[in-house]
Amino acid sequence: MSADAPIGVFDSGIGGLSVLRALRAALPGEDFVYLADTAHAPYGERGDAFVADRSLAVARQLHDRHGIKAMVVACNTATAAAIAPLRQAWPALPLVGVEPALKPAAAQTRTGRVGVMATRGTLGSTRFRALRESLAHRVTYVQQPCDGLAEAVEQDDAMKIIALCSVYTGAMGRFGIQNGDIDTLVLGCTHYPFATGVLRGLVGPEVQLVETGEPVARQTQRLLSNAGLLCGRPRGRHSLLATGPSEGLQAAAARWLPPQA
């Protein structure tokens, strides 16, 4: 494996751009190949077997066609369903997954009530249940499956994003910093950071929103450094690919990513 090779990043669609943004900021000298599985998005309500099959296919494309030196699974649903088979398929490849940031949220909450928005697939997974149970003695997690929200973000459908976010936050209970309020909200799907403006308006200014881009970028940096695979070039580039329609991906990248030098 060469330090000059790119890092592969994938998601069902545009959500992983929230992770790519953090990766680019933390690792400015690296090249990235981002692959959105838009022909099969969204993953969240599809079931484990489907998501695992798609994750393996997308990872194979990144590995075989682009000679990647590391891979970031920039999707909570894919990580929950497929991180183990992915590790098995490429045991020598540095691999980083994404999972809802329950641990940082547990460290930050004052009221002890943490909201978790994620896909049905993520919340129903054994992996998520184990994570939640390992921290449950300290905190109450109010979890909310957000059917349709990743798709609305994918379609950039502002009215639908507002409607769904208001139903889902409404169902979770009261937000704020008083006793009994949810004071910390975990965005457990990489699409949801793109709805931050709407969510902030609904939960108020005092609630902490927690996402995973930065910790994932730090972990990627650590793994590359340990493997002697950090690239020394001054400025890297990213390319954006999709298995299906790519207009939404290009538009989202133009809106959410800083321009390439």
Both structure tokens of 175: 């937000």
Please enumerate, as own/partner, the contacts of 84-93 that have beta carbons within 8 Å and a separation of 24 or more.
Answer: 85/52, 85/55, 85/56, 86/55, 86/56, 86/59, 89/56, 89/59, 89/60, 90/59, 90/63, 92/1, 93/1, 93/63, 93/68, 93/69
- Binder among 6, 8, 11, 54 for ligand DGL (CB under 6 A): 11
Which one of 75, 146, 165, 231 is the catalytic residue?
75
Closest residue to ligand DGL, judged by C-beta, is 44
Q: Binding string to ligand DGL for residues 176 to 215, with x set by CB under 6 A, is what?
A: -------------xxx------------------------
According to the binding rule CB under 6 A, does residue 18 interact with ligand DGL? Answer: no
DSSP secondary structure of 198-253: HHHHHH-TTSEEE-SHHHHHHHHHHHHHHTT-----S---EEEEESS--HHHHHHH
145 binds ligand DGL (CB under 6 A): no
Residue type, 213: G
Least distance from C-beta 151 to ligand DGL, angstroms? 7
Q: Is 51:78 a contact under the CB 8 Å cutoff?
A: yes
Q: Is 120 exposed, middle or buried (0-12, 13-18, 19+ CB in 10 A)?
A: middle
* Nearer CB in complex with ligand DGL: 82/229: 82
Between residues 20 and 229, which has the closer beta carbon with respect to ligand DGL? 20
Q: Which is nearer to ligand DGL, 95 or 189 (CB)?
A: 189
Q: How far is the CB of 199 from ligand DGL (least distance, A)?
A: 15
121: tokens are 């697939």
The residue behind tokens 């369903």 is 81
Binding mask 62-101 for ligand DGL (x = CB under 6 A): -------------xxx------------------------
**CB-nearer residue toward ligand DGL: 148 or 236:** 148
In the numeric block, which tokens belong to residue 251?
């538009």
Is residue 63 within 8 A of residue 90, CB to CB? The reply is yes
Q: Is 15 in the site for ligand DGL (CB under 6 A)?
A: yes
End-to-end CA distance of the chain: 26
* Annotated catalytic residue 231: no
Q: What is the token pair recorded at 187?
A: 């965005």
Contacts for 129 with CB less than 8 Å, ≥ 6 apart: none
Would residue 165 show up in a list of annotated catalytic residues for this protein?
no
Catalytic residue among 146, 165, 189, 231: 189
Closest contact distance (angstroms) between CB of 135 and ligand DGL is: 20
Among 17, 22, 41, 240, binds ligand DGL (CB under 6 A): 41
Smallest gap from Cβ 39 to ligand DGL, in A, equals: 12
Which residues are designated catalytic? 75, 189
Q: Give the binding site for ligand DGL (CB under 6 A).
A: 11-12, 15, 41-44, 75-77, 119, 122, 150, 189-191
